[in-house]
A and B are shown apart, each in its own frame.
Chain A
Amino acid sequence: MTRRELDIAALYRQYGALVRRRVRRFFSDEEADDVLQEVFTRVLTSQGSFRGESSPATWLYQVTTRHCLNRLRDRARRDELWVERGAVYWSQPVASADQEARARLAQAWRGLDEQLVTIGVYYHLDGLTHERIAELVGCSRRTVGNRLTELAERTRGAK
């Protein structure tokens, strides 16, 4: 067995349940296990992007979030699936999420770029601070603030 295989198997054993929980924030239970496999397939091909600057758990959280959002965004282009899946996702109870912001974000989803959606999810749905979002997205806190302002303006326009 190669080192690469060992790494993936070990990552899965250690963090698979964490990844599955994250996936279930975006997808139904029926789909979660399939998406879990997809995430680890992606991990297999993109593990070079893990630079060891954060815990593997944090890196997997980012990879999983991005994969799930991409998957939803692609589906969003297929209107009927967007309605189905979008409803599942945006109706997930999140303690610190602002209901109105969530609704606006859902409406404007399709017109937003990847970074803006990711920042919106981390802020409105996960309740993270600007500082934490900046770490996860790889930008400055100021950029996070500016992008959240932009998000508010654009989603207000979509209301």
Chain B
Amino acid sequence: MSLDPSIFTRDWHLQDLALERLELDDLDPAAERSVRDHLTSCLACKARHQAIVAELAVPLPELGIEAAPAPTASNVVPLSVRRSFLVAGGAGAVMAMAAAFMVMTLLQPADPQPDPEFQVRGSELSLEVYRQDEKGAVRLQDGDGVRPGDHLGFRVASQEAGYLLVLGIDSTLEPYPCYPADPSRGAQAWAASPRPVQLDTAIQLDATPGQERIVALLCDEPVGLDILTPPLRQVSADLQPWQDLPTLDVSCLQRELRLNKLDGAQ
């Protein structure tokens, strides 16, 4: 007798997924019939089914994420305005440099294992962040914890050429440069590379507590950190920790990774 492998386990019981889909009315008629037939004769699966029904009935928390809103006039800075920020933004850039000490060293990830879901595969820009520790470089995922003093390195891949800028934003909402090292140089010319390329900069995290966002921007023109600082501050102020940054500039592709700064003693 052959069993449908999408419904049954090797030992002829129903998979949890099949029982869950039954409750969600998500099975096709034939599969539903098989599941119901089995439930009439298998006490073990019947008991498990009842437990699953009870568990699925527990109310869900509110979904705390939403898609980034489309660019609006308020979060897009026209080119003419951007240039006027070049001088005024200088002081902010210096402060930002103090927030994160730039370490001009090349981090060599130890055999990085790209997560298939984060490989380029059709998306146009990807960002990988690594933490260097005593065992080598460790790939960080969204939501991972970091500590003051951690060294972070970066790898970027893109299907398109452009100008690349990577910046960090901590809870003070003061952006700081991750790449290039000198924010006054603006975004660096970038050749398309579908395979991740190691950037030649790294940062050492300071003790500012809270969330740390690392954002990569691939732009049509060499925008600078000073240009992005005002819209960044504007959109960051009302941003919830689980939300992505809205699009900062329609001429840029944008990717970000959120990290949680843990207390050094934790």
Q: Would you give the 0/1 interface string for B220-255, flagging 1 where the beta carbon is closer than 8 Å to chain A?
A: 000000000000000000000010000000000000
User: Are B67 and A2 closer than 8 Å at their CB atoms?
Assistant: yes
Point out the residues of chain A lying under 8 angstroms from B140, CB to CB. Answer: 74
Which single member of A71, A96, A114 contacts B11 (CB below 8 Å)?
Answer: A96
Q: Is there a chain B Cβ closer than 8 Å to A8's Cβ? A: yes
Q: Which parts of A116-159 form the interface with B (CB within 8 Å)?
A: 126-129, 131-132, 135
How far apart sit A148 and B1, CA to CA, in the bound complex (Å)? 24
Stretch of B54-62, B76-84, B101-109, B181-189 with 4 or more beta carbons under 8 angstroms from chain A: B54-62
The interface size bin for chain B is 35 or more
User: Are A42 and B117 closer than 8 Å at their CB atoms?
Assistant: yes
Q: Is there a chain B Cβ closer than 8 Å to A41's Cβ? A: yes
User: Are A21 and B52 closer than 8 Å at their CB atoms?
Assistant: yes
Interface of B is mostly: loop
Q: Which parts of B17-60 form the interface with A (CB within 8 Å)?
A: 17, 20-21, 24, 26, 44, 48, 52, 55-58, 60
Point out the residues of chain A lying under 8 angstroms from B21, CB to CB. Answer: 18, 55, 57
User: Are A37 and B58 closer than 8 Å at their CB atoms?
Assistant: no
User: Are B242 and A8 closer than 8 Å at their CB atoms?
Assistant: no
How far apart sit A74 and B113, CA to CA, in the bound complex (Å)? 11
Q: How far is the CB of B103 from chain A (nearest CB, A)?
A: 22
How far apart sit A5 and B75, CA to CA, in the bound complex (Å)? 20
Q: Is there a chain B Cβ closer than 8 Å to A83's Cβ? A: no
Which single member of A8, A9, A70, A77 contacts B138 (CB below 8 Å)?
Answer: A77
Point out the residues of chain B lying under 8 angstroms from A2, CB to CB. Answer: 67, 70
Question: With contacts defined as CB atoms under 8 Å apart, how many contacts are there between chain A and chain B in the complex?
Answer: 118
User: Are B67 and A14 closer than 8 Å at their CB atoms?
Assistant: no
Q: Which parts of A61-112 form the interface with B (CB within 8 Å)?
A: 61, 63, 66, 70-71, 74, 77, 95-96
Stretch of B2-10, B156-164, B171-179 with 4 or more beta carbons under 8 angstroms from chain A: B2-10
User: Are B24 and A15 closer than 8 Å at their CB atoms?
Assistant: yes
Q: Is there a chain A Cβ closer than 8 Å to B263's Cβ? A: no
Q: How far is the CB of A123 from chain B (nearest CB, A)?
A: 8
Point out the residues of chain B lying under 8 angstroms from A127, CB to CB. Answer: 9-11, 13, 15
Count chain B CB atoms within 10 A of each CB in A12, A42, A114 and give the residue with the most.
Answer: A42
Which single member of B5, B143, B242 contacts A132 (CB below 8 Å)?
Answer: B5
Point out the residues of chain B lying under 8 angstroms from A71, CB to CB. Answer: 141
Q: Which parts of B96-151 form the interface with A (CB within 8 Å)?
A: 113, 115, 117, 121-123, 135, 138-144
Point out the residues of chain A lying under 8 angstroms from B91, CB to CB. Answer: none
User: Are B65 and A40 closer than 8 Å at their CB atoms?
Assistant: yes
How far apart sit A74 and B64, CA to CA, in the bound complex (Å)? 24
Point out the residues of chain B lying under 8 angstroms from A14, CB to CB. Answer: 24, 26
User: Are B65 and A37 closer than 8 Å at their CB atoms?
Assistant: yes
> B139 — nearest CB in chain A belongs to which residue?
A74
Point out the residues of chain B lying under 8 angstroms from A28, CB to CB. Answer: none
Q: Would you give the 0/1 interface string for A9-51, flagging 1 where the beta carbon is closer than 8 Å to chain B?
A: 1001111111011000000000001001110111011101100
Between-chain CB contacts (< 8 Å), 24 pairs: A9-B63, A16-B60, A17-B57, A18-B20, A21-B52, A33-B61, A36-B60, A38-B142, A40-B63, A41-B242, A44-B65, A48-B122, A49-B121, A57-B24, A74-B144, A95-B9, A114-B113, A126-B9, A127-B9, A127-B11, A128-B9, A129-B3, A129-B8, A135-B6
Given contacts A17-B58, A132-B6, 10 further A-B contacts (CB under 8 A): A12-B63, A18-B20, A36-B60, A40-B63, A49-B117, A63-B117, A66-B117, A74-B141, A113-B113, A128-B9
Closest 9 CB pairs of A and B: A127-B9, A132-B5, A131-B5, A129-B5, A17-B56, A16-B60, A5-B67, A12-B63, A18-B20
B-side interface residues toward A, CB under 8 Å?
3, 5-6, 8-11, 13, 15-17, 20-21, 24, 26, 44, 48, 52, 55-58, 60-61, 63-67, 70, 113, 115, 117, 121-123, 135, 138-144, 242
